[in-house]
Every structure is written in structure tokens, then in C-alpha cells.
Copies of this chain bind each other. A is one copy, B any other.
């Protein structure tokens, strides 16, 4: 599906398609949610043991520059996910369990408009993440899930 479209776009843009890049793209694409650099690395390395962490960094940066992936700041580390303009969303990250959930963009429409209207501040909500405590962790406060 969209994997093909991405490859096509890369080709059109004159970006060389190396096995490493394909593996990294796959890793990010498979990893649904969003993967940290090291997760992408490990994943890609499974198919190609010579994979180098530097290549992962360079490729991820390349992909980001090309608009193929999106950076999501989770905690103090960057995560990456395939950028799909039709499925834009934000993220809720639980500070307790580390879980990350997608959030429909319209929850922030009002906020965005307010910022633009009031401050002429154009928020970049693509990389937007709210930290907090998720339903599960709120219900069962860490140690005793049910007693």
C-alpha cells in the first residue's frame, strides 16, 4: 500500500534506494506506533546484521527531511513513525507506563485557532505530544492492580 508510494516518491526525488534504507523504512512502517532510534536499529539489524547505528540515524534524518517520517518527542527521546497526511494525529504518552496513544487532531483545533488568533503563534501540532497518566495507570495506581 503506501509503502510503494513512498518508494516511488523517493525514486522521483532522486534518492538512492539501498537495502539499508528499505529495511529502515520497513522497520518504521511495521512498528505501527512509533519507534525509538534503537528500536529501529534492532529491528533492521535482524534482517541485516551489518546494519550500523550511524546509518539508522542518517537515514531517519533523511526520511524526516523528505517528509517520509515524523519525529515524535516521547520523554526525552525522539521516536519516528511513517507520516501519513491522511492520518494525522497527536499523541498522549503515559508518564507511568510509557504507553503512547494516538489522539485525533480535532481535539486541538480550538487550541490551534486560539494561539493563531491571539498570538499569531503557529503551533506545530504534528510533533505534538501530551504527557500525563493514562486510564489504566489512573485506575490501578502502579503497584496494586486489584489488591
Contact = CB atoms under 8 A, between A and B. Distances in A.
Interface in A93-121: 94-95, 101, 103, 107-108, 110-111, 114-115, 119-121
Interface residues of A, number: 32
Contacts of A135: 119-121
A122 interface: yes
A127 interface: yes
A35 to B, nearest CB: 17
A53 interface: no
A28 to B, nearest CB: 19
A107 B115 contact: yes
Given A76-B73, A107-B115, A111-B108, A133 B138 contact: no
B95 A121 contact: no
A130 B122 CA distance: 10
Centre residue among A95, A107, A120, A132 by max chain B CB count within 10 A: A132
